[in-house]
Structures are given as structure tokens and as C-alpha cells.
Structure 1
Amino acid sequence: MASALIAKSFSSPPPPKSKEEFIGLCSRGFLRQALQGFFPEVFADSNLFAHLLQGCCFPQQSLSLGRQLHGFIVAAGAASDRFTANHLLRMYSKLGDLPAAGKLFSVMPRKNIMSYNIFIGGLIQNGYLISARRLFDEMPERNVATCNAMVTGCTHYGFNEESLKFFSQMIREGMRPDEFSLGSALRACAGLKGVIFGRQIHGYLFRSGFAFDLCVGSSLAHMYMKCSCLQEGEGALKGMPALNVVSCNTVIAGRAQNGDYEGAIDYLVLMKAAGLVPDAVTFVSIVSSCSDLAALSQGQQIHAQAIKAGVNLCVPVRSSLVSMYSKCGCLQDSINVFDESLEEPDLVLWSAAIAAYGFHGHGRKAIQLFEKLVDDGIEPSEVTFLSLLYACCHSGLKDEGLEYLELMGGKYELKPSLKHYTCIVDLLGRAGCLDEAENLIKSMPIRADGVIWKTLLLACKIHKNAEIAERAAENALRLEPEDSASYVLISNIRASAARWTAVSDVRNAMREMKVRKEPGVSWMELKGQIHLFSTGKKSHPWQREIDECLGELMGRMREKGYIPDTSMVLHDMEEEEKEYSLVHHSEKLAIAFAIISLPHGTPIRVMKNLRVCDDCHAAIKFISGIIHREIILRDVSRFHHFKDGECSCADYW
């Protein structure tokens, strides 16, 4: 009866004629075919049960079939065989039935180290790390596979410190780590940015003969690059006997993560010249580099190459393209890529599109997209809500933002992170609710960092609230004493009130702490080349033409009512000197260069590393009306689309 029950559960075809054919059918998941005509042999040789149990782990099989086989094994009297019991334990562990695996493990009469390793691996695979650790400690003896399971499992779930403790224990107990434990330990070092421990492992690689293993070498390079040791990372790969796509991807991702975006793009050229074909992982890193450079023409070329390589339909590549076009100021192109992806609903893509709308100040459209996401049955994540709150923040949608924060923690039971609270503080601060924003920081269940206090400080600058600004600055500087942004903001607030002695105090504090203000930098792309402009510097080859253009623009702007906002200048100097300083802000220099270098009618796209100042924002509105061209400016927080004397942010940024 047992054989009839099992045979009924499987599909048909010819029975095996030999033990080899039986094993081959089991290895491919064809269990009914394996049993047909070979049933008596299974009873005669209990070792054959192991092959049937392995076949149960194929995707097309199910746990119910494994349970039937378990009953069959008991009926056949083979349950006490340790070899068969271990395979039964592996089947339950792999298929996720941990209660059944635990019950079986507890009654096994003769456990060996393999039994422990199988159950520990099952516990880790299903996320029961504490139970796995308890069982690990109870083991009478351990081997490399046991320690590998703990090192790899802890790294996989982000418990990097625990992973390295197990790795150290492994060494102390005289075990020789293999490529799996070494790779996992290096990834743990990367997660912790623990370059000192990583260098110790690097030394062990030379002593143990793993120095030229390609997989371990890629993990080593990844570790160095995550720790911002770019040269050491690339040096580790240069020592390999041969490079492959994975190692090249490590270099490209490392350069991108360390801010060397142009270097990442250059390495793609070298990779292709070496005859290696980029894959989806390559394109994700390269497209992200184009995003951060705001190199639109290069991004378009990479998009074309991704299509040619056949990876443009890959969800991570599409998501990076949505982000790239958005960050290059091409919102419609970003949404077009997203719309092409709607046949394959994916939360990462939806979140990227919501972020794109928010980045460009279209809060209502971001909300509409979020509502459609929910209607389509996709459950939002913490990242989705972060993108949504950001969109609400930069569109002045205070009530909506607070409502979505409540929805996040209520209906979806998602725990807001510090980034979510920072968005809400920004939202309240921009709306002028400074007391409410300060109280939120003090009452939230997460410890505040310098960023959230700087966010409040910026809101105080916007609304000219010196009292709360002083408290916010004190907290921000206590948490991040070497960050220049808080010094600049409080100095700006004091300068606006003409408190020049207090401004001097800030400058003296910066000198004592050896803090230097981040210079204002703007850049734009022209014919594939990035042109960089720094506030107050006159080093561009076209500087004379730029100055002439700015002079002409200033005259025409004054005729239309433009008055320089000299409160933006943080120095006690004559008004004429202040006005001269304002004219040479980096974004104005970049826009002037674009006017004289781009064909008439072409939209001007400029990127800036800091928040656009009030004077430049007002001036660019005038310029857009004078030259009758759209000016798209990306600052540190969002995009501004200037057209016909107006800005898309409606002066809310």
C-alpha cells in the first residue's frame, strides 16, 4: 500500500533497469520512475533510500512526499540506520520543517558529527542562529564544515562580529579554514570596515596557499575597497593568475563605492578591451556611477550597451536606470524606463520611481504611485516609505507625511529607522513647526545623530529661529564635532542677524578643531566631458567669456528687479564686495558657461554638491526668464526646474 501511495504522487515513464539508472532518476527528481520496477531492490538495499530523499529536495517535489517516504522508511525498518537517518534529517532541514527535523534529531540513537552539521546547517538556513549556536556549543567534537556553517551563517545575516569570533575560534582549535570560511570572514570584515582584521587574514592567505585563489582574492579585494583601501584592493586582484568578470566587477564596484566614478567607467573600457563581457552586476555599478556624476550622455551610452548585452530587462539594472535618469535631471526618461517594467511588478523598481518623483518635487505623483503599488497587491518596505516620506517632505505635504509614518508602523508593522524620523523632522521643520520637530527628536525611540540635528538647524535657518538653532547646533556639534555643515549653518544664522563677533567665535572654533568648510562646487557635462566650477575660483579656460556673460546677465536681471541677497555672505565686508562674491558662486559660473557653450534652446543641466543658496535660487529664476531656456539644477537634496522665471519647488526647498 505504501508503494501505491507513493507511485500515485509522481508522474509517469519507464522504470530503471539498473541501480545506476535508479540513482540517475532520483538525482533529477523523477521519483516515480525510479520506484517503478525497482521497488524490491529498495527494500533489499536501505542505502537507496538516501537517493529518494535527495530527490525530494528538488523544486518540483514537496514536503508531503518526503513525509510519505519517512513512513515508508520506518515500515521498512531502516529508520535506525544512521546513514539513512542523516539523509532524512537533511531532507526535513532543507525543506524547512524544523520541528520534524528537531524531533528526528532528538531520537537519533547514534548521532555523529555529520548529524550535528546537517541540523546546524538547517537551523542557520531557516534563520535560527541562536539555536544553531546552542547546538554548536553542545557538540562533543567539531570539524571545518561545522565552523564554516557558523561563520557563513553569521555573515549572511549581518552578524559580522560573531562571524569573526567563530573564525578566530576555528583557528585556535587548530582547524585549517578553507575558501568558504575565508571568503565569509573577509565579507564580515568588509561589513564592519575592519581593515586591520582583514589584513591579518590577508597574511594568513599567503601562509596557507590561498593567496592566488580567484574567489578568495575577489573577497579580499572587496574587503579592502569597502574599507576605502582602493589601491590595496586592486593590488590584491592584480596578483591573481587571471581576471574574470567577477573580479572586474569587484574593482568597478569598489571604485564607485569610494567615489571614483570616472575610474569605474574607465575600468569598464579596460574590461571590454580584455575580451570580458560585462554582466548585469557590471552595469548596475556603472549606471550608478553615471548617476553620481550626473553624466547623462555616458549614462545613455551605457543604457544602449545594456540593451545590446541583453541585461536591460534585469530588475536591478532597470532600477539603476530609473535612478540614473532621475539624478541626471531627466524625470520623464526615468518614468519611461519604469513604465516599460510594469509587466514585472517589483518593489525595488516601484520604490526607485517613487524616489524619482520625490527628488524632482512631484510629491502628489509619488503618492499616486504609492497608492497604485498598494492597490496592485505589492507590500511596501522601509525603503518604499523612506522614498515616500522624502517626496512629502520636499513638496510641503506635512499632513500626508505624518499619516504615512503612522501607516508604516501601524498597518504594515514596519519599524521606522533614524532616516524616517529625519524625514519627518525635515517635513515639520520646513513647515515651520520647529518646536514639534525638536520634541520629536527628543522623544523618538532611537538615539539621535548629528544629521537629524543638522536637519533641524537648517529649518531654523530658513525660518530665522535663532533660539532653537543654538540648541540644535550644540547637539549637532557634540555628535559630529568635525563636520563643517553645522558650523556653517550656525554661522550663517548669526551673520543674518549681523552678530559678527559670534560669527568670529564659530570661525575660531573651526580653526581649533581643524575643520574646513566644504567648498561649493558645481559641474555640468558637455560632449561627454565634465566641467567643474568652484565658488570664487577663476580657473576655467573660458573664464573671460564666463565673466562677460555674467556681467551682461546681472545688468539685465537688475532691470527686471533682481536685488542681490547679501545676507548670504558670511563675512563682514562692504556691500559691493558681497555682491561680487555672490556673482561668483559656482552654480552661476556653471550656468554662464552653459549659456555660451550649448546650442540655443537646449536645456541647461547643472549639479551642485551643496544646497543652493537663497540668492542663487532667486537669480536663476530671473536668468531662466531672460534666456528663455529651462535650467535644471540638482543640489544636495533635490532637483529644481527653472522655467520662465519660476521654479518647480515653488520656493519650498
Structure 2
Amino acid sequence: MRMARPALKTLTTGPPEAKGEFIRLCSSGRLKDALHHPFRDVLWSDPTLFAHVFRACRAIPLLHQLHAFAATCGAAADRFTTNNLMLAYADLGDLPTACSLFERIPSRNVMSWNILIGGYIKNGDLGSARKLFDEMPTRNVATWNAMVAGLTNAGLDEDSLGFFLAMRREGLHPDEFGLGSVFRCCAGLSDLVSGRQVHAYVVRCGMDIDMCVGNSLAHMYMWSGWLAEGEAVLKALPSLTVVSFNTTIAGRTQNGDSEGALEYLSMMRGIGLAADVVTFVSIITCCSDLAALAQGQQVHAQVIKAGVDKVIPVITCLVHMYSRCGCLGDSERVYSGYCGLDLFLLSAMISACGFHGQGHKAVELFKQMMNAGARPNEVTFLALLYACSHSGLKDEGLEFFELMTKTYGLQPSVKHYTCIVDLLGRSGCLDEAEALILSMPVRADGVIWKTLLSACKTQKNFDMAEQIAERVIEFDPRDSAPYVLLSNIRATSRRWGDVSELRKNMREKNVRKEPGVSWVELKGQVHQFCTGDKSHPRQGEIDEYLEEMMAKIRQCGYAPDMSMVFHDMEDEEKEVSLTHHSKKLAIAFAFLSLPEGVPIRIMKNLRVCDDCHVAIKLMSQVTGRDIVVRDVSRFHHFRDGKCSCGDYW
């Protein structure tokens, strides 16, 4: 005898309740439970419920089975159900089946067209989306929104703005989602004029207090460098949300106000809002920019507490932050805590190794990636070439450049070529480096010529340096770097008259040399030092300590390198000037302030000079302390009288 199926409690109250429970199960992703008896009977009795099943489906094989089930029930003939089935196929990337369904719909509505256009956009086929858009008999706001958002997300900001203007000419009013995309495209174009015009339109429509519109508008202003205007927009909103704070934090980070961004994090926590992944990514970036290790460690603890320490963008930022703060070991520990293989994370770790002069480690990581079957992209190769150029791995670097262009068919940017020029220049192949610049298919910029100019100085090819400096000045007559390098080269040759003439030329053109600044973080506070500066409250102690330290390293063979003083003065004055370079002042303060055994970490905005490099090596030897110095292009780890760069920087 066949046994009757036991009824579930949820069905005892009748069909309406059963339908409600069926929809709830689908909405919460519990598709297996929804399709179990007796809910399957509910589906038989009301085929329109198939729409909920299709939206909950996350796998193509199961969708094929449900499609067949709907056809058996006769539900597939219903346009509403077919539209949702088509949406499911499009979302799962099966566009051929979605197109086939679209062609078989006897009487398509706007939703049918919008679903297929959205499917094309989601799968990156903007050409097919545009073709379908042009063929549509009628369009609604959702149609235009989809195209504007799709073009903006693809970086086609000019086309996106053009679609928005065409939409307005047809008399349609965009909703908050469309306006959000328009403000993002104005930000991408740095088109503040158009952004202000759309802002005026938003005010007229009374949508300036909409949260979605307001946050997008604020982002547009901040991205364009108008922080005050962006913050004014946010303050006018009914309330501040996590998105609002994220917008401000990202805006301040983008505009170089990392300290202000950190203050907003405190404000955000003060009113009880919890940071999300976007917040942490921006804040960790701030700590990287400031090289604020203590704050970065605190944020890392918050990341772990929030349970987002396994999220790839957060891990990637942590790797970068620890690297920028001089803690390569911590970067490696964060990286090794992730079990998978992510290209961006791996590229960040390769970059960190290169930044710290660990070119062989970077190469090993790259080989591990290749063995795992991952395909490197332009970012990966840029990090790898940078690592090779800063570790003297000329042959390996040239081999990887060939691998990038010939094996993987990737087109090098000017940044990739700059790494190769740096690689060749540091190796003494100046003529080969210049020939590469003149023959490369991309347009040279000032940076690549400055890279070659710096190599000329390192290799003491002063005649070539004079010629290259002229090229650099042509790119940007207000850039102080070529003038300073040229002045230093002439000073090294004791051509004081030419030095004086060059400095006069700089004054006439109002070109200002960037002052050398070094800083050290102590208990969350940053202490900054400039060469010859006497303003620090502990300056007397610093001078006294420096005098003692210089005496100790002289006993170990230190002799001041007078060629590093690029002014015509007596030797005694030169020695005093060298002693009070900003790096030495910062290191002396750190020795006075930090307990024994704690590594000293100094940040520097310019390249470490030869004299300081020799002196710091000897300081590490006589004190037994690890000293880490970050300059404009890399880290130097000094220990026991040696530097990690191997005197190659």
C-alpha cells in the first residue's frame, strides 16, 4: 500500500502561507528546500512561482533541469516567467541560451530587451549591448541606466556622458542609480564643468538629499580635487552612513590628506558605525602613505576583529602597507596566511620584495606562480621588472621582458620600458638604454629620461648627462629634478661657475628644489627633520649624540665624502653640512628615543646620498642596531655594517 506523504507544519494553514514560505526559501537561497515536497506541489499549482526559482538558481546544470521542468508545466510559455529564465541564464554567463529564449518570446516587452542588454553588459560585450539598444522599439529609464552604468564601469566615460545627454534630450529623467553612474563618469573624466551642471539639475529635481546621489556627487568633487565641496554635499544629507564616511576617507586619501582620513575613521567609530572592507582598504592605504607602522598595526588588529582578514583586497593592502613601513617580514607573514593564488596579491608581494632589494625572492615568487598555472598580467611584470632593476638582475630582467612581450603578447607601457632603462643604466649600458627610449613604440615621458639621467650621474658619464638633462627639461621646464642632478654633476667636477649659472636660471624660471626631509614615527607621532634644521625641541641632545656617533664611526674608517656637498665652501663647513643631513638627524633622534633592540625606521623623500649610506652602515656596526631607511625608490636595511642593497641603488 502506498503511504501518503506527511504534511509539513508550514502547509497546515493553507496555500497562501505555503506560497509565502516557498518564496521566502527561494529568496534566502534555500532552493533545495523550496523544491522539496510538498512545496513542489505549490509550484505545480502556480507556475508563476518559477520566476522565484530561476532567480535563486546558481548553477547552469540545475537551471537546465528547472527549465525543462517549467516547460513540462507549461510555465515556459508565460512571458514573465521566460523573462526571469532569460535573466538567470544571462547572470550565469550563458548568453547563447538567453538569446535563444529572447528570439522565441512572441511578444517582447521592455523588460525582455533590458534583460538581454544587461546580460551583454555584465559579460563585457558592450558592442552587442549597443546594437540591441539601437534596435529597441521603446526604451525606459532602466534601459538608459544600464547603458550609462555599463559604459562607466568599462572606463568609456565620454560615451557614458554622451548617453546621459541623449537620454535627457528624449525627455527622460534619470533615477538615483543613473545619476550615480553619471557622477562617476564625470569623476573619471575629471570633467568638473559637466559635473557641476548635473549637480544643478539634481538640485532642481530635489534629489540632492538622496543618499545614493549625494555620495556619488561628493565622490565626483573629491576625485576632482575639491574636497571642501564634496564634504559640503555630504553634510547636507539627512544622515551620514558608512558609504558617506568611505567616500570622505577615500577622497582625503586620494588628495594626499592621509591624516585627515584617519581622523574621519575615528569620527566614524565615535558615532557607532562599523568599518567595512572599503573603509579598511582606504585606511590601510593611508597608513602606507604615511609609513605609520603603529597605526597600521592597530588597523590590522581591527581587520582581524571584523573578520575581513581573509578578503583579498584587504590582504593586498596589508602586504603593501607593511612593505612601505619597512617590515618585509610582516608582509610575508600576511601573504603566507592566504592559501589561494590571487594575481593581484602575488603582484603586491613581488613588488614588496623588489622595493626591499630582494630581487631573487621576487623571481622565485614569479616562478611559483608560473608553476601553479597562473597567467601573469602587465601589473605582475611591472613589479617583477622593478625588482630586477633594483637588484642588478640584468639578464633575468631582459629575459622576463621578452617573456612578457613575445610569449604572453602583452604590450609594455612606458613604465615597463622605464624599468628596462633603469636596469640597463645601472648596469652601465647607457647607449643601449638611450637607444631603447628612442626606438620604443610608446611615447617617452619625463620620468624615463630622468631615469637615464640618474644613471648617467651614477656612471659618471657627465657629457651624456648634459645632453639628457636638456631632454628632461623640455618635458617639464618647472621640474627641479634635472636642474638639481645637473647642478650636482657640475659641482662634482668643481665647475662652480656653471653651478652658479644653473641656479640663477632656476631662480629666473621660478623652479624650486624640493627640500630633503626625513621623518621617524614615535608613539604615533611623526617627527620630521630637514637638513640643517635646528627647530626640534631636543636639538641640543641630537647634536651632542651626532658628534659622539661621528667620532665612533671615524674610528671604523669613516671619512666624510666632500663630493656630496654641492656648494663651494671650506672643507670644515662641508663636514658640518654632511653631519646635519636630515637622515642623520632623524637617526640620532631615534637612537635617543627608542629602547635597545627596537629597529630604527627612517623615511626619506629623496635618494639616500653616498655619504649617508656609508655613515649609516657604520652606525649599524658600532651600535649593533638594525636601521631601516626608505628613500624615494626603495628600502635599505642596514645591519652589522652592511646594507641589503649591496651598495647598488
1:116 aligns with 2:130: no
Q: Which residue number corresponds to residue 175 of structure 1? A: 172
- Give 1:114's aligned amino acid: M
Which one-letter code corresponds to 1:287 in the other structure?
I
Q: Given that residues 392 and 400 in structure 1 are in contact (C-alpha distance below 8 angstroms), is that contact kept between their aligned partners in structure 2?
A: yes
Q: Does 1:292 align with 2:289?
A: yes
Match of 1:627 in 2: 623
Alignment of 1:299-310 (within 5 A): 299-310=296-307
Q: Taking structure 1 as reference, are residues 40 and 397 closer, same or farther at Cα in structure 2, changes over 3 Å only?
A: closer
Alpha-carbon offset, residue 173 of structure 1: 2.2
The structure-2 alpha-carbon separation of the partners of 1:59 and 1:361, relative to structure 1 and needing over 3 Å to count, comes to farther
- The corresponding residue for 2:67 is 69
User: Which deviates further from its counterpart, 287-296 or 508-517?
Assistant: 508-517
Deviation at 1:477, TM superposition (A): 2.4
Shift of 1:637: 0.8
Alpha-carbon distance in structure 1 between the residues aligned to 2:306 and 2:95: 43
Determine if contact 2:54/2:84 at 8 Å carries over to the other structure: no
Aligned equivalents of 1:553, 1:479: Cα separation in 2:
43
Report the AA paired with residue 374 of structure 1.
Answer: M
Cα deviation for residue 360 of structure 1 reads 1.2
- Alignment-derived partner of residue 4 in structure 1: none
Q: Structure 1 residue 232 and structure 2 residue 229: aligned?
A: yes
Query: Residue 493 of structure 1: CA displacement?
Result: 2.2
CA contact (8 A) 1:63 1:95 kept: no
Q: Match of 1:592?
A: 588
What SS does the aligned partner of 1:640 have? strand
Say if 1:358 and 1:392, in contact at 8 Å, map to a contact too: yes
Q: Under a length normalisation based on structure 1, what TM-score does the superposition of the two structures give?
A: 0.89
Show structure 2 runs of 5+ residues with no match.
Answer: 1-7
Q: Does 1:163 align with 2:147?
A: no
Note the C-alpha offset of 1:71.
Answer: 10
Residue identity in the other structure for 2:133: F
Q: In the alignment, residue 120 of structure 2 is paired with which amino acid?
A: L
SS of equivalent to 1:218:
helix
Alpha-carbon deviations, 1:34-82, whole Å to 9, x = none?
995468757xxxxx3x643563353434167448837975995975x65
Give, in whole Å, the separation in 2 of the partners of 1:170 and 1:446.
37
Aligned residue for 1:332?
329
Cα distance in 1 for partners of 2:59, 2:550 equals 75
Q: Give the aligned partner of residue 323 of structure 1.
A: 320
Q: Which deviations, in whole Å up to 9, do the C-alpha atoms of 1:407-454 show, x marking residues without a partner?
A: 223444433322222211111111111112112222222222111111
Give the corresponding residue for 2:206.
209
Equivalent of residue 354 in structure 2, options 355, 358, 381: 358
Question: CA offset at residue 15 of structure 1?
Answer: 13
1:86–1:390 CA distance, 2 compared to 1 (3 A): same
Which residue of structure 2 aligns with residue 545 of structure 1? 541
Q: For the Cα contact (< 8 Å) 2:597–2:625, is it kept in 1?
A: yes
| Cα distance in 2 for residues equivalent to 1:365 and 1:272 | 39
Letter in 2 for 1:124: I
User: Using the alignment, how far apart are the partners of 1:524 and 1:288 within structure 2?
Assistant: 18
Whole-Å Cα distance in 2 between the matches of residues 318 and 622 of structure 1?
Answer: 36
CA contact (8 A) 2:180 2:217 kept: yes
Displacement of 1:505 in angstroms is 4.4
For residues 39-58 of structure 1, the aligned pairs below 5 Å read: 48=47, 51-52=49-50, 55-58=53-56
Q: What is the aligned partner in structure 2 of residue 528 from structure 1? A: 524
2:303, 2:69 → 1: CA distance? 52
- Residue ranges of structure 1 left out of the alignment (5+ in a row): 1-12, 43-47
Is 1:190 the counterpart of 2:184 in the alignment?
A: no
Matches within 5 A, 1:54-453: 55-62=53-60, 65-66=63-64, 69=67, 73=71, 83=80, 86-105=83-102, 110-341=107-338, 343-453=339-449
Please state how far the C-alpha of 1:109 moved relative to its aligned partner. 5.2
CA drift of 1:26 comes to 6.4
Cα distance between partner residues in 2 of 1:270 and 1:457: 46
Shift of 1:278: 1.7
Provide the rounded CA distance (Å) in 1 between the counterparts of 2:302 and 2:463: 55
Q: SS at the partner of 1:515?
A: coil
Judge conservation of contact 1:631–1:641 (CA < 8 Å) in 2: yes
Relative distance call for 1:200 and 1:509 in structure 2 (3 A) is farther
Q: Which range is displaced more, 597-606 or 60-69?
A: 60-69
Cα deviation, residue 572, structure 1: 3.2
Cα distance change on mapping 1:189 and 1:536 into 2, 3 Å:
farther
Match of 1:566 among 554, 557, 562: 562
Aligned-partner residue type, residue 324 of structure 2: K
| 1:627 CA drift (Å) | 2.6
Contact preservation (8 Å) 1:361, 1:394 = yes
Instruction: Give the structure 1 partner of residue 4 of structure 2.
Output: none
User: Per the alignment, in what secondary structure is the counterpart of residue 607 of structure 1?
Assistant: strand
Structure 1 CA distance for aligned equivalents of residues 253 and 40 of structure 2: 57
Q: Give the aligned residue type for 1:333.
A: D
Within 1, Cα distance between the matches of 2:45 and 2:303? 54
Listed as ranges, the matches of 1:605-624 within 5 Å are 605-624=601-620
| Contact 2:18–2:42, Cα closer than 8 Å, also in 1 | no
Q: How many residues in Structure 1 have an aligned counterpart in Structure 2?
A: 633
For residue 127 of structure 1, what is the amino acid of its counterpart? Answer: G
Alignment of 1:27-38 (within 5 A): 29=31, 33=36, 36-37=40-41
- Contact 1:57–1:95 under 8 Å retained in 2: no
**What is the CA–CA distance in structure 2 between the aligned matches of 1:58 and 1:626, rounded to whole Å?**
68
Deviation at 1:634, TM superposition (A): 0.6
Report SS of the residue matched to 2:502: helix
Contact 2:303–2:309 (CA<8 Å) still a contact in 1? yes
Cα distance 1:580–1:274, how it changes in 2: closer, same or farther (>3 A)?
A: same
The answer to whether the Cα contact below 8 Å between 1:179 and 1:215 also exists between their aligned partners in 2 is yes
1:158 Cα deviation from its structure 2 partner: 1.2
Change (3 A) 1:559 1:483: same
The alignment partner of 1:56 has SS state of: helix
| Aligned-partner SS, 1:533 | strand
Cα pair 1:26 1:52 within 8 Å, conserved: no
The offset of 1:89, in angstroms, is 4.1
Residues 54 and 91 of structure 1 are in contact (CA less than 8 Å); yes or no, is this contact kept in structure 2?
no
Equivalent residues of 1:524, 1:605 under 8 A apart: yes
Tell me how far apart the structure 2 counterparts of residues 307 and 72 of structure 1 sit (CA, whole Å).
Answer: 46
Q: Structure 1 residues 281-290 or 387-396, which shifts more?
A: 281-290
Identity of aligned residues (%): 59
Deviation, 1:561, is 3.0
Question: Under a length normalisation based on structure 2, what TM-score does the superposition of the two structures give?
Answer: 0.90
CA drift of 1:596 comes to 2.0
Instruction: State the SS of the aligned residue for 2:376.
Output: coil
Q: In the alignment, which residue of structure 2 is the partner of 1:636?
A: 632
Partner Cα separation in structure 1 for residue 226 and residue 617 of structure 2: 43
* Deviations, residues 483-534 of structure 1 (Å, cap 9, x unaligned): 2222222222233233344434433443343221111110001122110011
Once the two structures are overlaid, the 10-residue window that deviates more, 178-187 or 592-601, is 592-601
Aligned partner of 2:140: which letter? N
Deviation at 1:468, TM superposition (A): 3.2
Change (3 A) 1:131 1:228: same
CA contact (8 A) 1:323 1:353 kept: yes
Q: Distance in 1 between matches of 2:468 and 2:104?
A: 62
Q: Deviations over 1:551-573 (max 9, x none)?
A: 33333333433232233333333
**What SS class does the counterpart of residue 525 from structure 1 fall into?**
strand
Provide Cα deviations, 1:323-374, integer angstroms capped at 9, x if missing partner: 2222212222221222222x24333332222222221111112222222233
1:511 to 496, 501, 507: 507
Matched residues in 2 for 1:455 and 1:74: separation? 70
SS in structure 2 at match of 1:571:
coil
